Amino acid sequence: MIPDGGDMSGLLAQAQAMQQQLMQAQQELAETEVQGSAGGDLVTATITGAGELIGLVIKPEAVDADDTETLADLVVAAVRDATNKSQALAAAKLGPLAGGLGGGGLPF
């Protein structure tokens, strides 16, 4: 509902400007890389700000043919660390924009 004297074209222009800002922030996130690590940097995962896994580095000393479970745990932990950092970055970048869209904002 538009308040008395409200300007529909002004409201539409404001919504379009917010949408453009949101799209720009999402593009910036997609181009940003975030790293997470585990085991004292034995395993390092690189994820985009949009959450896409784009790299995984495993140091040779992390590899033990008799203990692949530990390596798997390190990989999962490194990816989780990078994902958490990526989500925090997205929340920081998109939070102010998403919060202005009414309701509770956008889900991440």
pLDDT of residue 2: 53
Residues 6+ apart with CB under 8 A from 38: 73, 74, 75, 77, 78, 81
Average of per-residue pLDDT across 43-55: 92
Q: What is the topology classification, in CATH, of domain 8-99? A: Ybab; Chain: A; (3.30.1310)
Q: What percent of the chain has pLDDT over 90?
A: 44
pLDDT greater than 50 at residue 108: no
Q: Across-strand partners of 34?
A: 47
Of 1-10, 59-68, 99-108, the range with the highest mean pLDDT is 59-68
- 100 neighbors 18 (Cβ within 8 angstroms): yes
Residues 49-64 have a mean pLDDT of 93
- Asked if the model's pLDDT at residue 6 lies above 70, the reply is no
- Percent of the chain past pLDDT 70, that is, above it, reads 82
Residue 5 pLDDT: 54
Q: Where are the alpha helices (DSSP H) in the chain?
A: 8-31, 68-99
Q: Where are the domains of the chain?
A: 8-99
Q: Which of 43, 99, 49 is nearest to 71 (CA)?
A: 43
Higher pLDDT, residue 90 or 54: 54
**Higher-pLDDT residue of 53, 26:** 53
